[in-house]
């Protein structure tokens, strides 16, 4: 099931926040941690949130609340569902109330929250297109204390792949690799044990789904891009990346285009941790 209204514009959000049924707002500011210059502090999403957020938004920590501990299942494996549900309820998430998620503009963190909530059964979750930079309204620094929500995760509402499923889909359907092209080709690998891609997967960097302002391309353009890769409505499609975060953003782009897709959560960080799994390098899928 694809949420055809998977994204929301800043103007639409401003209008809904003053309406009869305002959405629950989740702030998921997060950045991929790579090697940093000496003395450069790591990005701190909570600090950024406390410096200013959309009024009423609750901060969600991707590493602690939207993922389990890193290990053999990858850098951002599925979280413990009881803990995830408790975190969502603390943030005020209820099954009958709409949810809007945003981040600092890249869209990856927000998409991870969107995918998890959709996968665990929430029927109405959208991502703020363009993230916080698109918001033209006021910001606040006070931290809200929302009423406890009632959301109970029920996994399986949307597609999810494990390593074996991803390998099979690369042969029987369309498996998209959302990482940068140089990582897909195995030319560089800044994080994981080995570079390259799952044999049969197609390179489809998720940053090509957005324009210079970070907002998604029109649905027609996204649909044409994915169709050229063999992914269209009626085709079985899966997506992976480094650790199941940027791939969620590509699943979101596919949803905007009206194409259901499954997420391989463990992604390359899980795949490459097992030396017995095959690795392809170069520009060709095989």
Q: How far apart are alpha carbons 103 and 236 in whole angstroms?
A: 29
Helix, strand, coil percentages, rounded to 5, for the chain = 30, 15, 55
For residue 95, how many other CB atoms are within 10 A of its CB? 14
pLDDT tens digits for range 170-186? 999 999 999 999 999 99
* Residue 37's pLDDT band (cuts 50, 70, 90): very low
* Residue 39's pLDDT band (cuts 50, 70, 90): low
Domains of the chain and CATH, by start: 7-134 (3.40.250.10), 160-271 (3.40.250.10)
Give the Cα-Cα-Cα angle 166, 215, 121 (nearest 5 degrees).
Answer: 50
0.85 cut: is pTM over it? yes
Q: Catalytic residues, which ones?
A: 241
What pLDDT does 3 receive? 42
């Amino acid at each position: 099931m694809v949420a055809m209204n998977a994204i929301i514009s800043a103007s639409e959000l401003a209008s809904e926040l003053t309406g009869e049924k305002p959405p629950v707002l989740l702030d998921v500011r997060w950045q991929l941690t790579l090697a940093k210059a000496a003395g450069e502090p790591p990005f701190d999403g909570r600090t950024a949130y406390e410096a200013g957020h959309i009024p009423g938004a609750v901060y969600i920590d991707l590493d602690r609340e939207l993922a389990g501990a890193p290990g053999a299942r990858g850098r951002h494996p599925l979280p413990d569902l009881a803990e995830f549900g408790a975190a969502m309820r603390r943030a005020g998430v209820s099954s009958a109330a709409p949810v809007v998620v945003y981040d600092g503009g890249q869209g990856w963190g927000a998409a991870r929250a969107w995918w998890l909530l959709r996968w665990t059964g929430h029927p109405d979750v959208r991502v703020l297109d363009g993230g916080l930079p698109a918001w033209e309204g006021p910001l606040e620094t006070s931290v809200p204390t929302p009423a406890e929500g009632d959301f109970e995760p029920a996994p399986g509402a949307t597609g999810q792949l494990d390593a074996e499923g991803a390998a099979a889909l690369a042969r029987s359907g369309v498996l998209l690799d959302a990482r940068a092209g140089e990582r897909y080709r195995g030319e560089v690998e800044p994080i994981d044990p080995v570079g390259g891609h799952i044999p049969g997967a197609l390179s489809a960097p998720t940053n090509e789904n957005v324009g210079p302002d970070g907002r998604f391309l029109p649905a027609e353009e996204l649909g044409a891009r994915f169709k050229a890769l063999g992914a269209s409505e009626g085709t079985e499609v899966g997506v992976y990346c480094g650790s199941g975060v940027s791939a969620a953003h590509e699943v979101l782009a596919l949803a905007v285009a009206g194409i259901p897709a499954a997420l391989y959560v463990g992604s390359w960080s899980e795949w490459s941790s097992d030396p017995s799994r095959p690795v392809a390098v170069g520009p060709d899928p095989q």
